[in-house]
A and B are shown apart, each in its own frame.
Chain A
Amino acid sequence: MNEKELQDAARQLPRSIEPPEDLWPGIRERIRQGKAGQGGGRRRKYRLFVWVPLAMAAGVAAILLLRPHGETWTVQRVAGAPRVNDAPLSASGTMRVGQVLETDDSSRATIAVGGIGRVDVQPGSRVRLVRAEATDHRLALAYGGIHAKVDAPPRLFFVDTPAGTAVDLGCEYVLETDSSGRGRLHVTGGYVEFAWSGARSVVPVDAYAETRPHRPPGIPYVSDAPAGLVAALDSFAFASAGAAAVGKALGAARSEDAISLWHLLSRVDVSERGAVYDRLANLVSPPAGVTRAGALALDPKTLESYWGRIERIHFRIVVLRGIRNVDARTGRTRD
């Protein structure tokens, strides 16, 4: 073998070799044991002279984050000629509580939501600043669409629509509605709760929920849900199709659609609840402590526990998409 043949052979060696066993559990354990500080960590090496300034900075940040922002938010023109209270918006301006931002078909604007996030207002939208308080940042979307990205603890940012209220749970989402309240929520990061008159849907990343006026929010469904399931959920939620729609939904649902069935469980008539639970349990086995009786009684702890398992599996499917094949029944990766 000459030198060139050797070099060619070396370059053709596979660079990737799968470990003989899954090393992740050991890594996770070490991380959880606090042997490793995350995010530029080396926390164990930090000393008082590091912590004290950090604590002071955190205090200042908290004050800045939680202080009232003078009931005005900054608005920036992105395109076209947005208007604030009928006055043309120049490059940037402010909105006060009660004022309205409107965009025509060719206008876009961005609202800085206090110190916690931003809202991109799509063309053809009308948005009013309802409240600008430390614990209640609230817009009202009369019609049109917004893309919201919020980096704050849950339940600090709200968007009222004619069909209900989107409650930020630490997330990024697109919300569109017409003036009647017919619209759709698409969550692209984290979770959003959509609530109307005591009813609520919790929409996780990569899922949708439809909205209609004077109706509880639609049952959430994942982005690749079967069309038959989406249609059945729509009929159930908005066309009073009842048992027939439930039957179709149960027939069309896959393990990946567990978030939909979990929501159905508490929405269907009590006479259909057993069938929904049985199908759900068949698709994603309930965690320890979750009983059929507890679920049929809509025991909050039972439902919360089941949801924890379902949303964990859902998140793994989404975050590992294209990397690992996740078993939607268990959340485990398939080799």
Chain B
Amino acid sequence: MSLTPAVSSDDRIALARAGDETAFEALYREHAGRVYGLCLRLSGDRGRAAELTQDVFVRCWEKLGTFRGESAFGSWLYRLAVNVVWMANRGDRRREDRVMPVAEPDLLERGTTSGAAGLAIDLERAIATLPKGAREVFVLFDVEGYGHEDIARMTGIAVGTSKAQLFRARRLLRERLER
């Protein structure tokens, strides 16, 4: 008698769509780190990132019925996350032009170290100080690997704006990392 995996990833999605909280929790556990990382870098604020991560998964719960399996679940979820963060940032005028305090993510709280780890921490700090629009495009393009067309589709900005923001972000980052 074969021992097939009892609950596959597809099963979890199907169970969650049917209202099973435990299956949905499993999806949360699987993807929380990636979603939180995205929210943290896009928002530039740890507390805000936690709120947004919750918003993303609540939105995911609401929208699970529309997931058709045409892409990987993770890809679908991360796009949803980008959309949620983007809309939240646009809708929150209080945060307009916000510049993040330097040491928000846990990994930034270890202090500067040498070598590749040190470079990563410096880079994280520098990303956090970018203006919002530049930071968002840099994170999506250079960290997450989306193309300008994808970014334009997800966020509603023009492809040209995306390219301009990326150029600006890279210039600012180089300047700040070379100080």
Determine the chain B residues whose CB is within 8 A of the CB of A318 once the complex forms.
6-7
Task: Return the contact of A223 from the options B3, B36, B142 (Cβ within 8 A).
Answer: B3
Do A36 and B61 have beta carbons less than 8 Å apart? Answer: yes
Do A20 and B30 have beta carbons less than 8 Å apart? Answer: no
Determine the chain B residues whose CB is within 8 A of the CB of A1 once the complex forms.
174, 177-178
Of B62-70, B83-91, B95-103, B146-154, which stretch is located at the interface?
B62-70
Interface residues on chain B, number (Cβ under 8 Å)? 60
Do B21 and A28 have beta carbons less than 8 Å apart? Answer: yes
Do A9 and B120 have beta carbons less than 8 Å apart? Answer: yes
Interface residues on chain A, number (Cβ under 8 Å)? 52
Determine the chain A residues whose CB is within 8 A of the CB of B46 once the complex forms.
20
B133 contacts chain A at the CB level, 8 A cutoff: no
Query: A16-B34, A17-B37, A27-B54 given. 6 additional CB < 8 A pairs?
Result: A18-B36, A30-B58, A31-B24, A31-B61, A41-B61, A324-B29
| A→B interface (CB under 8 Å) | 1-3, 6-7, 9-21, 23-24, 26-28, 30-32, 35-42, 174, 176, 184, 186, 188-189, 205-206, 223, 315-316, 318-321, 323-324, 333
List 17 A-B pairs, Cβ < 8 Å: A6-B170, A12-B120, A15-B143, A19-B50, A20-B50, A23-B57, A24-B25, A24-B29, A28-B21, A30-B54, A36-B59, A38-B16, A38-B62, A39-B17, A189-B6, A319-B7, A319-B15
| B→A interface (CB under 8 Å) | 1, 3-4, 6-7, 11-12, 15-19, 21-26, 28-30, 32-34, 36-38, 40, 46, 49-50, 53-54, 57-59, 61-66, 105-107, 116, 119-120, 123-124, 138, 142-145, 170, 173-174, 177-178
